[in-house]
């Protein structure tokens, strides 16, 4: 289990939700999508839903956006899993994360690729 998810579970167990929990869930969702990890995305979506229910008024809107993002990433990852395997992804020269072959700029670190 991810350290991010465990931290959010602990916050929920303690009966509180902070903006940091939303940031951690967002990071986990991005990283799980990069790994094409359906199980981690499903866990992140479930925790995002629990967070939205427990969030106060100030964080509720952001929690709902996180749910929508998780659902989109999950759908995209499921579609990718059903697609034939593509060629090995290129790696960003700035941070080493996988990038799309048609990318102009790395999403993670902002390195210009053209």
Where are the domains positioned within the chain?
A: 3-83, 85-114
Surface-to-core class of residue 98, CB atoms within 10 Å of its CB (0-12 exposed, 13-18 middle, 19+ buried): middle
Distance CA 105, CA 114 (A): 8
Summarize pLDDT for 70-109 with one digit per residue, the tens. Answer: 999 999 988 887 755 444 568 888 888 888 888 889 888 9
pLDDT of the residue at 66: 94
Distance CA 56, CA 63 (A): 10
Average the pLDDT over 36-51 and give the result: 93
Q: What are the residues facing 105 on neighbouring strands? A: 112
* CB-based contact 100:108 (threshold 8 Å): no
Distance CA 96, CA 18 (A): 30
First-to-last C-alpha distance (Å) of the chain: 37
> Is the model's pTM score more than 0.75?
no
Q: Show the tokens assigned to 19.
A: 């903006």
Q: Which residues does 52 contact at the CB level (< 8 Å), separation at least 6?
A: 60, 63, 64, 66, 67
């Amino acid at each position: 289990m991810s350290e991010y998810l465990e931290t959010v579970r602990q916050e929920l167990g303690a009966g509180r939700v902070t903006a940091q929990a939303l940031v951690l869930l967002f990071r986990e969702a991005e990283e799980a999508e990069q790994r094409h990890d359906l199980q981690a995305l499903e866990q992140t979506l479930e925790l995002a839903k629990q967070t939205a229910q427990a969030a106060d008024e100030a964080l509720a809107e952001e929690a709902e956006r996180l749910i929508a993002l998780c659902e989109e990433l999950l759908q995209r990852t499921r579609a990718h899993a059903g697609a034939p395997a593509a060629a090995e992804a290129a790696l960003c020269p700035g941070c080493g994360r996988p990038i799309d072959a048609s990318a102009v700029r790395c999403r993670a670190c902002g390195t210009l690729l053209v």
